[in-house]
Chain A
C-alpha cells in the first residue's frame, strides 16, 4: 500500500528536483563566482553597497504600493462580484485580460498614456491640459496594479463566496451595523483569501522588470531590472544570481511570515 503510494509520488518528486531544487542550487552556486569565473564573496559584498540597497528599498516600496492598491481595488470588486446576478460572466471579464500577453498590454498603455494618447486627449477636452503620465511613478504603479489585479481578486472572491451567509445575518440580527459586520465578521473570515492574494501580487511585483522600462522608462529601477541586465547585457551571471538568491531568501521569509497562520484559515 505505502509502496504504491510512494510510486505515485515519483513524478512530483522528480519535477520538484529537476525544476525547483536544481535551478535554485545552480543559482546559489553561480552567485559565488565573479565575471572571470573565480570563486568570490564579492557579489554579496557588492549587494551591500548603497546602489543595490537603494534598489532593494525601491523594489520593496513599489511592490508594497502595488499590493496595497491592488487590495484596495480588489476587495470591494470581489465583494461586489459575489453579490451580482451573472457571477460567472463578470468573473470571466476579470480573468480575460490576464490571457493577453503582458508585452501587448504594456504597449497598449504606452499608447493610452502618451502625450498624444487617449487619456491626454480626454484631459485636454475637459480642460485639465496635457499631463505627463507615461514614465512616471503613477503610471508604473497603475499599470502594475492593472496587470496583477486578477490574482488578487480571485482568492478574495473565493473566500467571500465560501463565507457562510448565515454568519452575516446573525451579526445583523444581533444588532451590528453593516460596517461592524464587515470589520468583525466578513473581513476576518476572508483574511485567508486576502493573504493569498497579497502573496500572489507582492512576490512577482518584487522582481518586476520590463514594465520598469516600457512604462516607467527606467525611472524606476528594481532588482528585477538589475537581474535582467546582469544576465543579458553584462553577462555577469554571478551578480545576477547573487541578487536572485537574496530575493529568494526574502520571499521565503515573507511566505513563512504570512503563510503560517493563513494556512489554517484559508478556505479553499
Chain B
C-alpha cells in the first residue's frame, strides 16, 4: 500500500515539476505575454533563421508548432483549445475548412507584398479571389526514379510505369486522389473526372499495374526511396526534392500527360487571437528576399515571382520544379469533388489495393 502511495506521489511530483519548469522556461523567454504569434506548419517547412528575423523585426515572439497531416491539423483547429494565428494547409483542406467556417478572411490591404505572387497562382478554384489563403509553396505529383538501379532508363509518361521490366519496383504514395488521378491522367482524362466509365477504365488499368507495385506507403516512402528499397516512386515534388537531397542518383519528372498541381497556402484559422501579427507574418513571408531564402531552405517551388528572380539559375531554371508554361497548362488543381465522389474515389482505391499479384 505504502509503495502504491509512493508511486502515485512520485508521478504527481514529476508531472507538476515538469509543468512548473515549462512555465518557468516560457516566461524567461518572453513567451507569456500577449505579444506572441502561434504558427502551425508542417514539420521542417520554414527556414528557422527567418523566424528569428521576424521576431527581431516586429518584437513578436513566435510559438512554432507542427503537424504531419491536413486531417490532424483540421481536427485540432476544429476543437479549438489552442490558439493558432497562422496555419499552412493544402488546397483541398482549405476548401474544406472554408466550408466548415474554420477560416477568417485575410485583409489584402495589410499585405502589400501580395503583388509579388505570380498571378498564375492566385484566384484558383479552391479559394476564389484568395479571400482566405495566400500561396506559400506549390508543387506537382510525378515520378521519381533511380537512374543507377534502372541502368539509365528514363521516364516521360505515366504509361512508362507499366513497363514490364519494372516488376515489383514501384512504390506508390498512399493517397486515393493521387493514385486514381495518375490512372486517369495516363488515359488522358482529367484527374478531376467524375465520369463513371472513365473511373472504371482507370481502375481496370491500375489493376494491371499491380505486378509492378511493391508497396503503397505513407511518409516512409521518402526513407524507402532514398534507401534504394525500390527504383521508382510516385510522389509529390516536395518529397522528391527531399529524397534527391539525400540520394543524388534519383531524378524526378512530371509526366507529359499532365499531373496534379498542389498548393500549401497560409491561412488565418478562426482560433487566431493576434490578427495584426498574423497579417504581418504573412506579409513578411512574401517579401522577395525572405521567400527566396525560404525556398532555398525548404526546396519546394515558390509562387513568389520576385523571389524566383533572386534565386540562382540552377534552382529557378530547374524544369522539374518549375516546369515550362506548356506543361504547366496541363497541370490541374484537385477540385473539391464533394464527399460522395471522394468516397467513391476511395472505394476504387481500396479495390485497387485489394488487387493481388
Q: Chain A interface (Cβ within 8 Å of chain B)?
A: 35-36, 51, 54-55, 107, 110, 114-116, 132, 134-135, 213-214, 216-219, 221, 226, 229-230, 232-236, 239
Contact call B339/A55, Cβ cutoff below 8 A: no
Chain B neighbourhood of A230, CB < 8 A: 346
Chain B neighbourhood of A235, CB < 8 A: 339, 342
Known A135-B215, A221-B350; contact A116-B340, beta-carbon cutoff 8 A:
no
Q: Does B22 contact A (CB under 8 A)?
A: no
- B341 CB to nearest chain A CB (Å): 10
Known A51-B354, A114-B229; contact A234-B215, beta-carbon cutoff 8 A:
no
Contact call B343/A239, Cβ cutoff below 8 A: yes
| Complex partner residue of A234 from B346, B353, B354, CB under 8 angstroms | B346
List B residues 324-357 near A (Cβ within 8 Å). 339-340, 342-343, 346-347, 350-351, 353-354, 356
Contact call B217/A218, Cβ cutoff below 8 A: yes
Contact call B346/A233, Cβ cutoff below 8 A: yes
Contact call B346/A217, Cβ cutoff below 8 A: no
| Complex partner residue of B214 from A35, A107, A217, A239, CB under 8 angstroms | A217
Nearest-neighbor residue (CB-CB) of A214 within chain B: B220
Q: Chain B interface (Cβ within 8 Å of chain A)?
A: 69, 71, 168, 171, 174, 176, 214-218, 220, 223-224, 227-229, 339-340, 342-343, 346-347, 350-351, 353-354, 356
Known A114-B229, A214-B220; contact A226-B340, beta-carbon cutoff 8 A:
no
Please name the 7 residue pairs, one residue from A and one from B, whose CB atoms are nearest each other, closest first: A217-B215, A218-B216, A35-B339, A135-B215, A234-B346, A236-B343, A234-B343
Contact call B227/A116, Cβ cutoff below 8 A: yes
Chain A neighbourhood of B351, CB < 8 A: 51
| Complex partner residue of A236 from B71, B229, B339, CB under 8 angstroms | B339
Nearest-neighbor residue (CB-CB) of B96 within chain A: A235
Contact call A213/B174, Cβ cutoff below 8 A: yes
Chain A neighbourhood of B354, CB < 8 A: 51, 54-55, 221
- B154 CB to nearest chain A CB (Å): 22
Chain B neighbourhood of A239, CB < 8 A: 343
Known A115-B229, A214-B220, A221-B354; contact A132-B346, beta-carbon cutoff 8 A:
no
Q: What are 29 pairs between A and B in contact, CB < 8 Å?
A: A35-B343, A36-B339, A36-B340, A51-B354, A54-B354, A55-B354, A107-B220, A110-B223, A115-B228, A116-B228, A116-B229, A134-B215, A134-B229, A213-B217, A213-B218, A214-B218, A217-B215, A218-B215, A218-B216, A218-B217, A219-B353, A229-B346, A230-B346, A232-B71, A233-B346, A234-B176, A234-B339, A234-B343, A239-B343
| Complex partner residue of A132 from B168, B174, B176, B340, CB under 8 angstroms | B168
Chain B neighbourhood of A114, CB < 8 A: 224, 227, 229
Contact call B227/A233, Cβ cutoff below 8 A: no
Nearest-neighbor residue (CB-CB) of A46 within chain B: B347
- B279 CB to nearest chain A CB (Å): 31
Contact call A110/B71, Cβ cutoff below 8 A: no
Chain A neighbourhood of B168, CB < 8 A: 132
Contact call A35/B340, Cβ cutoff below 8 A: yes
Chain B neighbourhood of A132, CB < 8 A: 168, 214
Give bound CA distance, A51 to B347, whole Å. Answer: 9
Contact call A135/B342, Cβ cutoff below 8 A: no
Nearest-neighbor residue (CB-CB) of B347 within chain A: A51
Give bound CA distance, A189 to B174, whole Å. Answer: 48
- A69 CB to nearest chain B CB (Å): 21
